[in-house]
Amino acid sequence: MFELFMALAEPNRLQIVELLVNEPCTVLDIADRLSLRQTQTSKHLRVLREAGLVSVEVAGQHRRYSLEPKRLKELDNWLVKYRRLWDDRFEQFDRVIADINHQENQNDSKSKQRKREK
Amino acid sequence: MTLKASNEKERNSTSLEFSGDRQICIRRRFNAPAHIVFRTWVEPQFVRQWWAPKSQQVEMVVCRASVQVGGTFRYVIRDMAGQEFAFSGVYHEIVPSKRLVYTQCFEPMSEEGKVEITVSFFEHAGCTDVESVETYASKEALQAALSAGLEHGMRDSLQQLEELLAHSLLS
């Protein structure tokens, strides 16, 4: 998982991934669309490939890069898990505050009742 | 005091956001006034009831806290395999019902340094919005925490990616 995060932590690489979501691209396409140098783009693509995020396909003279949905799915699973940790915690939190609210309300009405009795 | 019914079906949603490369912000609304939410957030008698999510099959085995400036806390959770993970830290600022600043260390990864956490409580109309901002010692510390996958956050760019994923190829 770590290399996946490292690969995506770089803003240009994330932009490349976003671009590839739409369609497979060549290095030139990517460099052009993101205004990057071709050598720089190739370096980023190598990191993404090593992280298993993109695959390459040779089509004639060109190499076309596309996303590996399986790997992205792993990341998605992780994010879902992480959000769920907090969500589940807070669901329990809701129950705790509901109990306290309930108790406070009971105490309130008891003390009002006592005042009335006096 | 106006309170929403405790059996309200609608559940408030949790938001995660990433700011800069070493900060994560968690936001959530609670249907109770700030003094209650604040106490629930810090007092061990309450923390032990919510901090370890049962649905994820972890239990809280230690929950100690001395809630005062300079005081310490230690939380230990145990997973199904019996493995225990400890979190500990020190309170730096306590403004009841409003603000809490503390450091937290995930003990198995203590070499990554401490996380500074600032929790703010905003009450309006009987509800409380809580914002918890976690600041990691470095970008690397955040990334290490990410890869450990237990507790910690993400960069803002990953937030965008998540949205992207939700709307595109994974459906």
Distance from the Cα of A4 to chain B's closest Cα (Å) equals: 9
**Nearest chain B Cα distance for residue A93, angstroms:** 5
Q: Where are the beta strands (DSSP E) in chain B?
A: 15-19, 23-30, 59-65, 72-78, 84-95, 99-106, 115-124, 127-135
Which amino acid, one-letter code, is at B26?
A: I
Report the alpha-carbon distance of residue A85 to residue B151 in Å, rounded.
Answer: 8
Whether B149 has its CB under 8 Å from any CB of chain A: the answer is: yes
Beta-strand pair A54-59/B84-95: unpaired
pLDDT above 60: residue B30: yes
Q: Identify any residues that bridge with B105 across adjacent strands, giving them in sequence order.
A: B88
Note the pLDDT of residue A77. Answer: 65
Average pLDDT in the B13-25 region?
Answer: 76
B60 vs chain A: nearest CA distance in angstroms? 12
Residue B116 pLDDT exceeds 80: yes
Share of chain A above pLDDT 90, in %: 39
CA B120 to chain centre: 12
Among A73, A89, A100, the residue with its CB nearest the CB of B170 is: A73
Question: B170–A72: do the CB atoms touch at under 8 Å?
Answer: yes
Q: Which residue on chain A is closest to B60 by alpha carbon?
A: A89
Question: What pLDDT is recorded for position A72?
Answer: 78
Residue B164 pLDDT greater than 60, yes or no: no
Interface contact flag, B36 A104, Cβ < 8 Å: yes
| A95–B50 C-beta distance less than 8 A | yes
Average pLDDT over residues B83-108: 93
d(CA A53, CA A4): 8
> What are the pLDDT digits (tens) for A50-80?
989 999 998 788 889 999 888 877 776 666 6
- Whether the per-residue pLDDT at A86 is higher than 90: the answer is no
Q: Choose between A85 and B68: higher pLDDT.
A: B68
Average pLDDT, chain B: 79
What number is the average pLDDT over the span A77-104?
82
Residues B135 and B141 sit within 8 Å (Cβ to Cβ): no
Report chain A's mean pLDDT, rounded to a whole number.
Answer: 84
Interface TM-score (ipTM) > 0.90:
no
* Residues in chain B within 8 Å Cβ distance of A79: 154, 158, 162, 165
Average pLDDT over residues A21-47: 93
What per-residue confidence (pLDDT) applies to B88? 94
At A108 the pLDDT is 81
Question: B130, B151 in Cβ contact below 8 A?
Answer: no
pLDDT at B3 over 80: no
Q: Identify the bridge partners of residue B65 per DSSP, sorted by sequence position.
A: B73
**pLDDT at position B160 over 80:** no
| A69 with B32: Cβ contact below 8 A | no
B26 has a pLDDT exceeding 70: yes
Contact A5, B146 (CB under 8 A): yes
Q: What is the pLDDT of residue A104?
A: 83
Q: Which residues, numbered 9 to 28 in chain B, qualify as contacts with chain A under a Cβ-Cβ cut-off of 8 Å?
A: 11-14, 16, 21, 26, 28
Q: What is the pTM of this model?
A: 0.64
What's the pLDDT band for B170 if we cut at 50, 70, 90? very low
